[in-house]
Amino acid sequence: MNYRKLGRYNIKVSEVGVGGWLTHGRSIEDSVTSEIIHQAFDLGVNFFDTADVYNQGKAEISLGKAIKDLKREELVIATKCYFPMSDRPNDRGLGRKHITESVHNSLKRLDVEYIDIMQFHRFDAETSLDETVRAIDDLVRAGKVLYWGVSEWNAQQLTDLVHTAKELNANPPASNQPIYNMLNRYIEDGVLKACEQFGIGNVVFSPLAQGVLTGKYLPGQQPEEGTRAADPKSNMFMHNTMTEEVLTRVQNLKVFVAEQGLGLAEFALAWCLRQKMVSSVIIGATHASQVETNVKASGIQLDAAVWTRAEEILAGQ
């Protein structure tokens, strides 16, 4: 396993991390979560991502159980807040009250004394940036949080956030967690440039397009039962990628990748990691063997012509 700094900050995360968006505390038992986490850790993964809203806190609880017998100082734990956790009017958003209470609640659910990376799950148009920045900065100074960042903020929002932190003499954001994969490249238009300018590291989610870039979904066939695409609770974000056209192109890409001596999943993850501002790719797993396959992406180096040809294939060229 190779490790990268989180942008310009000297905390090193494994190039492949493990997340629990649709799995931990939801679709798999805690015992399976523990098996996956321990397998990942044994393979060199140190970065584990979750959020308070993932199954309304149950994902954090499941992860907390899984890491109980691991050395805390060897782990980088990231979680998030923003989305409503109840019907209470202050139990959402990025105001001081919610951020403070979210951090303390996540600490309890994870059963840890500090959070390595606390991220704001979405932009909050109802809260002024200075309130948000002051709140998280106080938590950093109190030792509850080591680094902080955001998820799915655009380039202008990131820029305004960094400038606000500078004006307040507060700790600036260190991370950004956007979606990024070979089928969704929107961050290349501005977000990555802003992150490079400000030294923000990207820990990207859905690098395999929720499994589409593994090649397991075939054109003209219904997804197998038990897969994410077959679950109406999990496939709500997959409509644009589960088309006959996309699935056919992915199968063509799979053939090309095999000619390079690689599996499609590791190739797609390595494609994300070709970007210097990507610190880690976050994978999901329902069994430990998936982790063993995906960590092979770490350290893969290929000629630019290979990446270009792969992109052409996905574009139908």
Please give the domain boundaries of the chain with CATH numbers for all domains: 12-211+275-300 (3.20.20.100)
Q: Which two tokens stand for residue 75?
A: 């782990």
Distance CA 104, CA 83 (A): 16
**Residue 68, amino acid:** K
Residue 308 has pLDDT above 90, yes or no: yes
pLDDT of residue 228: 56
Residue 205 has pLDDT above 70, yes or no: yes
274-278 average pLDDT score: 97
Q: How much is the mean pLDDT over the chain?
A: 94
Element (H, E) at 14: strand 9-14
pLDDT of residue 21: 86
Q: Which two tokens stand for residue 2?
A: 């190779």
Instruction: Tell me which residues are annotated as active site.
Output: 54
pLDDT of residue 9: 98
**Residue 78, amino acid:** A
Please list, in sequence order, all residues whose beta carbon lies within 8 angstroms of the beta carbon of residue 306, skipping any fewer than 6 positions away. 260
- To 5 degrees, how large is the angle CA 18–CA 75–CA 21? 25
CB 48 within 8 A of CB 77: yes
Residue 114 has pLDDT above 90, yes or no: yes
CB 76 within 8 A of CB 1: no
Please list, in sequence order, all residues whose beta carbon lies within 8 angstroms of the beta carbon of residue 77, skipping any fewer than 6 positions away. 48, 50, 63, 67, 110, 112, 115, 116, 117
pTM of the predicted structure, to 2 decimals: 0.93
Q: Which two tokens stand for residue 151?
A: 């998820």
Alpha helix stretches (DSSP H) within the chain: 30-42, 58-66, 96-110, 129-141, 155-167, 191-198, 244-259, 264-273, 288-294, 304-314
